[in-house]
A and B are shown apart, each in its own frame.
Chain A
Amino acid sequence: GAGVSQTPSNKVTEKGKYVELRCDPISGHTALYWYRQSLGQGPEFLIYFQGTGAADDSGLPNDRFFAVRPEGSVSTLKIQRTERGDSAVYLCASSKGGNQPQHFGDGTRLSIL
């Protein structure tokens, strides 16, 4: 499809495990963003990529969270030693950059047991 694709749509895992969440942006979009949305709240910024580099990772909550975008397209958000508080919907968005509208994927619902 032409939209932002996120996989998996749902992920259930045990506390302490490692997880990877994948985002495939809209073709031609150079900017890619990760957000986290807890129940009943608005999304919160995690990290922003312009091309291959992380231009701003100030929203990552701690060093258990890491993201990459090695070829400037697909991005992977990685969470080590997961905790129950990491449970949320992780949203990926892409845009043409600047203040162009960000278009979101359907998100990955992460549940840590």
Chain B
Amino acid sequence: AQKITQTQPGMFVQEKEAVTLDCTYDTSDPSYGLFWYKQPSSGEMIFLIYQGSYDQQNATEGRYSLNFQKARKSANLVISASQLGDSAMYFCAIGSRDYKLSFGAGTTVTVRA
């Protein structure tokens, strides 16, 4: 069984500043992937970034970076230079060789002008 824990229900960030969203996970599989998705109020789930459990480097995609600490079982998302359009719900998810994703409860991010 796999589990994702997101302990921050909501966060506020000032425009142009960085924000870190926490994610911890639990799995017994030696090979797994960690994903972050963004869900705006319109409802669509947008894939942001992926980290494989054997990847040596932390993943980065534009303004998104994933701070992967395998020993601590954490996969925090960092959003740099926040924009108003970043206001949304953010979900951390884990998938392993059985492919199905297990999602956390999500963190709501509100960017203030």
* A interface list, Cβ under 8 A from B: 31, 33, 35, 40-45, 48, 55-56, 59, 89, 91, 93, 97-99, 101-107, 109
In the complex, the 7 A-B pairs of residues with the closest C-beta atoms, listed nearest first: A42-B103, A104-B45, A99-B33, A45-B100, A101-B47, A106-B44, A42-B91
Chain B residue with the shortest CB-CB distance to A50: B99
Q: Once bound together, how far apart are the Cα atoms of A102 and B46, in whole Å?
A: 9
The secondary structure that dominates the B interface is strand
Which of these, A31, A42, A107, contacts B104 with CB under 8 Å? A42
Which residues of the partner chain A approach B64 to less than 8 Å between Cβ atoms?
Answer: none
**Number of residues from B at the complex interface, CB < 8 A:** 26
Which of these, A42, A89, A102, A107, contacts B106 with CB under 8 Å? A42
A43 touches B44 (CB 8 A): no
Q: Once bound together, how far apart are the Cα atoms of A25 and B95, in whole Å?
A: 20
B100 touches A33 (CB 8 A): yes
A42 touches B105 (CB 8 A): yes
B95 touches A107 (CB 8 A): no
Q: Once bound together, how far apart are the Cα atoms of A107 and B106, in whole Å?
A: 18
